[in-house]
Amino acid sequence: MEKVICFFNSAIAWGGGEKWHFDVALRFKNAGYKVVFFAHKDSELIKRVKNEGIQNYAVEIDNLSFLNPFKLKKTALVFRKEKISILIINLSRDLKFAGLVGKKVGVKNIIYRRGSAIPIRNSFFNRYLFSNVVNNVLANSYKTKDTINEINKSLFPKSKIHVIYNGIDLKAWDNLSNDVYARSSDKIILGNIGRLVRQKGQKYLIDIAVKLKEHRISFEMRIGGDGHLVEELKSYAKEQKVYEYFDFVGFVEDSKAFLSQIDIFLLPSLWEGFGYVLVEAMACKKPIVAYNISSNPEIVADNETGFLVEFGDLDSFTNKIVLLAKDKILREKIGANGRKRVESLFTIEQTVYNLQKLLELQK
């Protein structure tokens, strides 16, 4: 019997988890597998899924949806109709909802993809889900894997926690346009892409801009992304008298175009599961400055494809930017190293192959 793979992701925002779900689902569909997708009715994700002709269902899930018998029954009917055999879930609320539905209708392999290096709470419900519902956990980094059982050492068997790095389609990536975010001067362009939320730490970039101003570096700071902190960040930049150095460009539809026009990529996040954008920046041969946290050391080779500094050390962060800003040859060397690292470790082909092995789908 043909295995039917179902991807379930109810996030309305577009982020690394959504990109992973979309990229992998599309690869499986193009390889001839039967793929079904559940996504939020108003999300960027479902728009992209529809555009690629992937069988899809619109959902709207919150943390209490698992208590709604009508939603549960409706989803169970679809699972049975589509004969789902593999269910890949990305969010904790989806695990509570779709995981329970999958268990009820007899889905053989329920996989929870963990994308954040944050310990899982040792609640009764979590103990039940990981003991009775989840068959495998997919972690996007070894750091993420380490946090799964951090609070409860026996929450889930380590042998069933599988690390598969995110990857990008380099052939498609290289064919994307570069001309959306044009350069308007010879200033060093520093870039960051991410949701404008506390986790992503863009406020640190404003403090760093103050220090760069003191170093008399001629620079522009481009911030790509949207979120509830946008006005707060703009106000803080004005308060620190560096607003003229910033360009808040909003949601970035084409990260390749954005990254191609910067000189150095900065990631001041407080934590990451797997910094997708780090891989994308390295694919564009851009040197990176980031904090030495979470999975960053698994992606960025310190002093080779970028620089990793201790969390919160703004002076070191600034000094690394200054070093790169003043040395074009160093930027090019580190950027070239980054591209080679992506080619060897972080391609979508590797991601899909490793997932096929896990799901026993090799043809």
CATH of the domain at 29: 3.40.50.2000
Of 250, 256, 246, 235, the residue nearest 187 (C-alpha): 246
Separation CA 340–CA 333 (nearest Å):
11
Q: 60 and 81: one domain? A: yes
Domain residue limits at 103: 4-167+347-359
State the pLDDT at residue 37: 97
Whether pLDDT at 322 is above 50:
yes
Q: 16 and 150: one domain? A: yes
Separation CA 322–CA 327 (nearest Å):
9
Tell me the three state secondary structure of residue 59. Answer: strand
Whether pLDDT at 2 is above 90:
no
Separation CA 214–CA 284 (nearest Å):
29
Q: 75 and 210: one domain? A: no
pLDDT average, residue stretch 137-147: 94
State the pLDDT at residue 272: 87
State the pLDDT at residue 363: 47
pTM for this entry: 0.85
Q: Structural domain tally of the chain?
A: 2
Judge whether 222 and 262 are in contact, CB under 8 Å: yes
Compute the mean pLDDT over every residue in the chain, rounded to the nearest whole number.
Answer: 93
Q: 137 and 280: one domain? A: no
Separation CA 200–CA 25 (nearest Å):
27
Residue showing tokens 């990008």: 168
State both tokens at 352: 């899909």
Separation CA 36–CA 141 (nearest Å):
26
Q: 117 and 225: one domain? A: no
State the pLDDT at residue 181: 63
State the pLDDT at residue 249: 93
State the pLDDT at residue 179: 61
Give the confidence band of 116 by pLDDT, cuts at 50, 70, 90. confident
Whether pLDDT at 362 is above 60:
no
**pLDDT, tens digit, for every residue of 175-192?**
876 665 666 678 999 999
Separation CA 242–CA 208 (nearest Å):
10
State the pLDDT at residue 184: 67
